[in-house]
Structure 1
């Protein structure tokens, strides 16, 4: 096959891909090479847009491929977390540090680390203020051995998202990161924050080295003195200084430094920072009172325009401080004149679920599924019990003795947590470990109502309340379980 010297693609983005399929490191001749050339240069090759479709397919019990079962198992995996009520700081002050060095140009995460991190950062800002409406956020970047301020500490998500999008359009990753410079800038931004709130730093780190001007151990000691907690999400291999930084600033807790495995895992680690950390500081565990104001929205005349004290922008409406009557354009905010914290009652209600999370719902076996025919919340019909389910038998080995259990009649059924490792059927064993209900029903442990998987996710991730408990059906005789008439199966 003849070689072609004029079809070489210079900026393919992969140093090893230039010599594949050719001799002497030159590109091969044909439509494949010509197809990568565009009007303004080269385009992305077909192999750069590979989607791992095989990771989205599950094997059902009957041996067929099923995507629905994998999606349900993924939803249940997100919900199966610890719901123990712990003391947390709901007034947070977080500095988000993004690595913008040349290491973020790698394409192990599609389309590359830099663009994926910026996209996830926009989602993180929205979710952060949705879950923590009375908190503050600031964004810092690391590039060229220095730290650059992307957005100042504020409680307006629109400003942060606008700054991130402007940065993505105007700048490319370059240079080396500097952990020490970024941490020192975060210390300066968190220095004036009140003592009743938490001080946190979240770092997205993609490099394997740090270009620091001094001793970073002194910076770590200063972070501990200022009670600043650092969490790191790594995109490459584990770095020793990052593990030491997270462990020392989090009361010897080494779980604050995690390495992402793929795009979905990276997003999960990123969004996990929206939950406030557990309070370990003895100074913050003592109860204290905080004065806040709850102003009402004031509508001015159409012909009257005034400046807000927070942004100095003309507006016709806003909120008047309950102490000094200073006008602010949005809430939550801190009064620029008297320093009073101004919030709405809904902001406190949205932060309350972190302190008392909704308990996880349990899977309902077929033996209890006859109590409901539809979801209690959305009235979606549940799958009916198969006609041959009363003849289905599962072989279990309990204490070395073979036992056959009829799961339709519920005779001698062993609890799922005790029999999970004794089920011989791999498909049934997988369902037990992932918490997926064989009947498609999930029961609230308080009110006893049955719900579908979508309502389970919606209740635990959006509203953080049980529809059955909120409707106060627990006082009724027997409790109305399910959203329809009871169906009895012989």
Structure 2
């Protein structure tokens, strides 16, 4: 009886070994599951003798060793292939101690890398629609009650939506915005299309006491957004930005027909997913953006959510429809091209006026009494705020500063390049040109022969491509080893904070602007009689 038992146990152990060697990914599951299944379904056997127990223990130890080795090999293979971003995050491997034993330098480098990552974008001048008409769609369904985004998806979306409204009108002051919601399978109008950010922010704040409920409906919301954008002028863009937190859409009809109508009306749709990628969302973004599905993104964390939100503040580039192949499509494209031909747009630039009398007058936009306002340049009607359209004659009323703030999208500020140590030694920059912050000192090995470096075009234009022979770049990619960033035009050096401020706020280079001012002052001095030059000549004659 013991011999048969020994044979049975040995046979079972060999079988387990074969299964382990065949499948490295499910080793632990197989080892845990197979003995339990055998004991549950197999015939009951008598307890083996002491020799049989020793053999079983030896076989089990061998199987465990093989399983552990196979698991380690599988992890190595998986690491070599490169796993998904959410699977393994070895943040401790990027921390390197400095000479003083701290990691402050590494932390500062990571923060600086995050700033530069947001700045390094395509600065090619493109034709963009600076007069935009955007519908913001918020998901108010029960899926927004999840807490994977702190504090909840719902509250975080409302907070980012308010920040988005402010940033949108800061970057696009002559544009219009409206807000819709998805709740209980219906589309809810939160605020009408207008150019006043205060109205939208107050409407979004009113949603905080309410709880998300029901199912979302993309079709109903897109149809309502299409109706709101239907009467907008053709010289502006028509866009929809949807925040979608669910994994399904409760639609009353065929959503593909709605997509066809959006394409026919030239409405661009961008979607930010909070849960996972949904096939219909990708199809909507691709169909409405001429095959470009980059308008659909799924958030990874709170910071990524905000980045996807704020990326929409940049006006989209004007695209050209693909060449038609049939005669009917050619005729339709010809009519569309004639209708979309660029033309001049009449605008009014009124100034703020104060009533000469103490009696307030009613404004044409809200019928509220006030003494101050802007008078329409065409009909003289008074409006409260700008930019807006005249309620009487329909003339677009803006300020010159609004038009100037929208102009930087057409000609963006060029990205500043990283400065190597050799370039820093050659220029001799000790502090930031804008804020005066002191730069790190140039090491001795680079300060001695700075003038003899002939590193080629990249060295002459800022050394951002790699710094010179003998220099090894340290830190994350895109970070200057010297802490300096150089404008390719004026060749002035700036710190990382001034780099961020110039590209995200003022959209102008302080060095280029000051150089223009100096040139204007020199030209003015030359036109005024060149008095300084005559004085120098007299001094040279008498000396």
1:306 and 2:361 aligned? yes
1:89-238 to structure 2, matched below 5 A, reads 89-169=129-209, 171-238=210-277
Shift in alpha-carbon separation, 1:475–1:322, aligned structure 2, 3 A = closer
Candidates 433, 440, 444, aligned match of 1:383: 440
Where structure 2 has 5 or more consecutive residues not aligned to the other structure, the ranges are: 1-88, 322-336, 520-543
Match status 1:451 vs 2:491: no
Report which stretch shifted further, 465-474 or 340-349: 465-474
Partner of residue 103 from structure 2, selected from 65, 79, 85: 65
Deviations 1:179-234 (A, max 9, x none): 00000110111011000000000001110000000000010000011110000011
- Judged with a 3 Å threshold, the aligned counterparts in structure 2 of structure 1 residues 271 and 172 are, in CA distance, closer, same or farther, namely same
Change (3 A) 1:222 1:475: same
CA RMSD of superposed structures (Å) = 2.7
Answer yes or no: is 1:373 the counterpart of 2:412: no
1:429: how far off? 5.4
The 1:354/1:438 distance shift into structure 2, 3 A limit, reads same
The structural deviation recorded for 1:407 is: 9.3
Cα distance in structure 2, aligned partners of 1:79 and 1:165: 31
Count of aligned pairs between the two proteins: 403
Q: Could you tell me how far apart the structure 1 residues matched to 2:317 and 2:358 are?
A: 50
Structure 1 residue runs of 5 or longer lacking an equivalent are: 1-51, 392-405, 477-490
Question: Residues 226 and 414 (structure 1 numbering): CA distance in 2 closer, same or farther, change over 3 Å?
Answer: closer
CA distance in 2 between partners of 1:205 and 1:157 (Å) = 23
Deviation at 1:286, TM superposition (A): 3.6
Alignment-derived partner of residue 362 in structure 1: 417
Task: Flag the 1:408–1:437 CA change in 2: closer, same or farther, 3 A.
Answer: farther
TM-score by length of 1: 0.77
- In structure 2, distance between residues paired with 1:107 and 1:217: 32
Q: Which has the higher strand share?
A: 1
Distance 1:137 1:373, change over 3 A: same
Query: How many angstroms apart in 2 are the aligned matches of 1:411 and 1:457?
Result: 30
2:515 matched residue in structure 1: 472
Contact 1:447–1:474 (CA<8 Å) still a contact in 2?
A: no
1:374 deviates by 1.1
Contact 2:475 2:481 (8 Å CA) reproduced: no
Q: Which residue number corresponds to residue 332 of structure 1?
A: 387
**Closer/same/farther in 2, CA of residues 418 and 158 from structure 1, 3 Å limit:** closer
Q: Name which of 335, 342, 352 aligns with 2:397.
A: 342
Matched, 1:321 2:359: no
Task: Tell me: CA distance 1:92–1:58, structure 2 relative to 1, closer, same or farther (3 Å).
Answer: farther
Map Cα deviations across residues 76-111 of structure 1 (whole Å, 9 max, x no partner).
Answer: 111111000011000000000011111111111111
Contact 1:58 1:70 in 2 (8 A): no
Spell out, residue by residue over 1:363-397, the C-alpha distance to the aligned partner (whole angstroms, 9 max, x if none): 11111113211111111111111346679xxxxxx
How far off its partner does 1:335 sit?
A: 0.2
Displacement, 1:60?
5.8
Q: CA deviation at 1:301?
A: 3.8
> Partner of 1:401 in structure 2?
none
The answer to whether the 8 A contact 2:423-2:450 is kept is no
**Alignment deviations for residues 411-459 of structure 1 (CA, whole Å, 9 cap, x no partner):** 7699688769x9997xx4543x2x1111111100011111111111111
For the structure 1 residues 227 and 384, does the alpha-carbon distance in structure 2 shift closer, same or farther, using more than 3 Å as the test?
same
Matched, 1:264 2:307: no
Counterpart-to-counterpart distance in 1, 2:102 and 2:116: 21
Report matched runs for 1:41-56 at 5 Å: none
Q: TM-score scaled by structure 2?
A: 0.70
Corresponding residue of 2:484: 441
Deviates more, 1:407-416 or 1:438-447: 407-416
Contact 2:181 2:187 in 1 (8 A): yes
Other structure's SS at 1:471 match: helix
Structure 1 residues 386 and 114: alpha-carbon distance in aligned structure 2, compared to 1, 3 A threshold? same
Deviation at residue 322 of structure 1 after TM alignment: 0.5
- Select the structure that is richer in helix: 2
User: Which structure: larger Rg?
Assistant: 2
